[in-house]
Structure 1
Amino acid sequence: MNDVLAGIKVIEVAGWTFVPSAGAVLAEWGADVIKVEPLTGDPQRGLVTSGLVPAGAGGVNYMMEVPNRGKRSIGIDLSTEGGRDLLLALVRQADVFLTSYLPNVRRKLGIDVDDLRAVNPDVIYVRGSGYGPRGPDVDTPGFDGVSYWARGGVADALTPPEADFPVGGRPAFGDVMGGMALAGGICAALLARERNGAASVVDVSLLGLALWNLGPDVAAAKLYEGVELPSFRRDEPPNPLVAYYRTADDRQICLMMLQSDRYWPDLCRHLGLDGSIADPRYADAAARFHNRAELYRLLSETFASRTYAQWRDTLATLAGPWSGMQTAAELHDDPAALANGYLATLTATSGAAFELAANPVQFDETPASPSGAPEHGQHTEEILLDLGLGWDDIDRHKQQGDIL
């Protein structure tokens, strides 16, 4: 079952990808997630019309679908008295309020913690930010490119010293991981509320997420500050069984055999290097380290003798950890991804069918089966009718400019 959060209502006042991706995860786990959008819509919707994101076949706005699948959308102008009243009415029935708005905006709109707790003391208030709820940058806008990738040290950690330009991040790289962190925090808060009745305020920042992702680097940075650590050239790895090797057709094979003594004989047999198993130059980890440049050349020449497909078949029975370096397109045909339902098939509002990555958490071995992202304000009337408003009330709010 994937409806572990059935009966939980989430009100999301957030844009772009980071915080909305948490709502998408909660929706895949069965929660009713209502996305409250300004009358102009989530700015993420504009990436297609601006040309920054090309529209896919059938007009699929994949950057909108990824963090917003499975939700209902209502268009509300929170700057009007009537719009704010409607939001408060939604919050009265909610378990979770999820927002990416900065403190100064939340105070201006009257949707900060105390404002919402005044109408629903039990609501779990959840904030996603660039730099956390305290300190000098609480009102500084954050995106994963600056807060997570650049300031968080990720770009520096992944950029080779000899590179002329920093390694760039992929779209929403930190955002979607941050969404999973938020979703986990929300579930913990729901459990705590059930057990002790206390409603928590949950915070995740992109900067904090970057530190978590770089945990070993961050811990070592100060421990070894001022100490000159050994460095190794790419073609002289300290353990040649942990390295990338180029194939005859210019693809890459990754070996990750940290227990090199355990896997060395089996690797040699699979590579047709039986004579190297007992070769004193490579017989144990210490010998392989001493002769690492020579061994790397031997393995490089061996892998360069066959194509990627040939090595994939040859290494299928290899005991040690290894993999081919795949493209995003190849993931759509990965047998493990297909067998486990890691790709979900959705239908966009345009009617086009497409695949995207489901969130990786499964319950009782059941793959997620999300619906597509809503159109801007698609469920406005439906949600207001659920609140108990009549059509005359809805029409009045439209005439006042409170709703889409």
Structure 2
Amino acid sequence: PAFQLDNRGKRGIVCDLRHPEGQAVVQALAARADVVVTNLRRRKLAALGMDYESLRARNPRLVYASLTGYGTAGPEQDRAAFDYAAFWARAGIMASLGEPEGPPPTQRPGMGDHMTGLGLAGAIAAALYARDRSGTGQEIQMSLFHAGVWMLGSDIQAAITTGYCHRPMGRHAAPNPLFNFYRTRDGRWLHLIMLQPDRHWTSFCRAIGREDLSADPRFAAAPVRFQHCRELIAILDPIFASRTLEEWAAALDGNGCYWGKVQSVEEVSDDPQALATEAFAPVELPDGRPLRMVRSPVRFAAT
């Protein structure tokens, strides 16, 4: 499934770059290509004659996109990597999630690869646009590690600027209880996402049937709710556990509250919103069987 997902619409050949014949084929292709994308480490590329300088000598208009684990400089430029290590673990994402008393959560396959791939595709498009103006190509460098740093950029920049380093506190100590997740009576989870809690506080209290909380001095404004967040979450937990997810959907939507439901992979595959936005492409397997494939999130209106 992963190979089908990431290679739909592509044509491919296999060349063994350990042999001169394979190198000659790829060098000939690169000599007339617009773009070359590689995820090999720089030292290996140079040994194979597939580095940017070698290929540019034959094709100055070439856009050469190099994706590595940790970058092309520094003591770990030649370290092997997958997104689990370079993107998820090394970049700080893994340590920023989960409950404080538990181990950090791992990622699912391709989470870092897919995000990094989209970024690299955008960079390639920008380099092609620049080539149309300058007449020459260029090398693009991107790493899984730096992509992870960029994804967690808000937390990392806060640490650099203020010295505050986010660490998992757990849902029972969420500073903003209106930006937290709760379990419903039918065992489902929903995530409140009211980042401006004072704006929503009165309508939220109305949605949960506890308008008295809006006048409670412990929760009168965001700063004091922060001080009493554990108390408020302890109040909200049994309230959300008293109704089903469907019932909460009506109550929260009816009062203009921002939230989202936590879905399983199976639910996403048949989500009406995903189907309405054509998130899945109908394709045919080699034996003629139909199959739905996850599309890229980018949609072009004219091409």
Q: When the two structures are superposed, what TM-score results if normalisation uses the length of structure 1?
A: 0.69
> 1:294 pairs with 209, 231, 234, which one?
231
- 1:330 pairs, out of 267, 274, 287, with 267
Q: 1:231 to 1:172 in 2, by over 3 A?
A: closer
- Provide the rounded CA distance (Å) in 1 between the counterparts of 2:232 and 2:267: 31
- Find the counterpart in structure 1 of residue 277 from structure 2: 340
* Structure 2 counterpart of 1:127, from 66, 74, 78: 66
133-142 or 206-215, larger mean C-alpha shift: 133-142
Per-residue deviation, 1:210? 1.1
Residues of 1 paired with 2:279 and 2:158: CA distance?
Answer: 34
Q: What is the CA–CA distance in structure 1 between the aligned matches of 2:16 and 2:136, rounded to whole Å?
A: 31
Check whether the contact 2:93–2:152 (CA below 8 A) recurs between aligned residues.
Answer: yes
Inter-CA distance 318–196: structure 2 relative to 1 (3 Å threshold)? farther
2:153 maps to 215
CA distance in 2 between counterparts of 1:231 and 1:159 reads 6
1:12-50: CA deviations, max 9, x gaps?
xxxxxxxxxxxxxxxxxxxxxxxxxxxxxxxxxxxxxxx
Aligned-residue offset at 1:75: 2.2
Q: Is 1:81 paired with 2:1?
A: no
SS of the residue corresponding to residue 119 of structure 2 reads helix
Alpha-carbon contact 1:159-1:167 (below 8 Å) kept: yes
Structure 2 residue 107 is the aligned partner of structure 1 residue 147: no
Question: Partner of 2:293: helix, strand, or coil?
Answer: strand
* 1:90 shift after superposition: 1.7
Post-superposition offset of 1:231:
8.6
Number of aligned residues: 303
Q: Within 5 Å, which residues of 2 pair with 1:4-403?
A: 62-163=1-102, 165-225=103-163, 234-364=171-301
Separation of aligned partners in 2, 1:203 and 1:232: 36
| Deviation at residue 127 of structure 1 after TM alignment | 0.5
Question: Alpha-carbon deviations, 1:36-78, whole Å to 9, x = none?
Answer: xxxxxxxxxxxxxxxxxxxxxxxxxx11112211100112223
Give the superposition deviation at 1:313: 3.3
Cα distance per residue 1:294-340 (max 9 Å; x no partner): 32222212111111222223333342320111112111232322222
**Aligned-residue CA RMSD (Å):** 2.4
TM-score by length of 2: 0.90
Q: Structure 2, unaligned stretches of length 5 or more?
A: none
Q: Partners of 2:159 and 2:225 in 1: how far apart?
A: 28
Deviations 1:184-226 (A, max 9, x none): 110010000011222110111011111111112222334454x
Please tell me the residue identity of whatever aligns with 2:118.
Answer: M
Would the alpha carbon gap of residues 245 and 355 (structure 1) be closer, same or farther in structure 2, given more than 3 Å must change? Answer: same
**Partner SS for 1:128:** strand
**Aligned equivalents of 2:166, 2:284: Cα separation in 1:** 52
Deviations 1:119-158 (A, max 9, x none): 2111111110001111222222111111112222221122
Q: Considering fraction of residues, name the structure with more helix.
A: 2
Asked whether the equivalents of residues 155 and 165 of structure 2 are also in contact (C-alpha less than 8 Å), the reply is no
